[in-house]
Amino acid sequence: MACTTLTSSEHEFVRQYTRSMVTMSTIATAILATILLSAYTGQFDRILSFNNNNNESMIHLETSFKRMEYTMKHITIQLLWIILSMYWVIGHRLGTPALDPSNQREDLVWMPKNILTNTIEHGLVFIISQLIMVIDLDSVQCCRMIPTLNYIYLIGRIAYLIGYPSKRSFGFTICNFTIILTVMFNMYQLIILYY
């Protein structure tokens, strides 16, 4: 890797940009931790239609298959976002030389392509980690955490899209936090399986 020397203005830009990213990521993490803790403790049960007036579960997910089915239905949100991202790239190609990728005018669609790539990368890991996670969740945890994680992730994708390229750290942190949380839960379950 080549070593480059930054000018003082470039160094200042990098310093300010990094400070901005850290601030946005810290805010996103604090908001997410609060929301997820509230969901886990049942603060959103009414919003998620988990409890009716008699405080009985409206959704019965006693088997792993039922929890997997419930999770896959919520994963549809992520799949829809991927499809919308694909059509956004197509929309940017229409009416431009980028319609034919062999014209070497990918510069006209770099932003939607980068967002689509990031959406697929994050989406794939998030979807798979949820499907693994749901095996170890009970019915109540599943009803609380799966919708919450998916809606938070969608908000993160929207924030990433709005902030791209220079203000994407808030949305990126939201998406990354949900992925890291599910993967860490799965790693914990793997560790306790053997110990």
What's the pLDDT at 154?
95
Supply the CATH classification number for the domain 63-194: 1.20.120
Using DSSP, state whether 129 is helix, strand or coil: helix
Q: Is-contact 79 71, C-beta < 8 A? A: no
189 against 37, higher pLDDT: 189
> Which of 46-60, 61-75, 152-166 is the least confident region?
46-60
Tokens matching residue 159: 């924030």
pLDDT tens digits for 125-144?
999 999 999 999 999 899 99
Closest by CA position to 142, among listed 45, 28, 30: 45
Q: What is the pLDDT of residues 8-50, one digit of tens each?
A: 888 898 889 889 889 988 998 889 888 888 888 888 776 665 5
54's CB contacts (< 8 A; 6+ apart) are none
Helix ranges (DSSP H) in the chain: 8-40, 64-93, 110-133, 139-163, 169-194
Average pLDDT score over residue span 68-89: 95
More confident residue, 171 or 101: 171
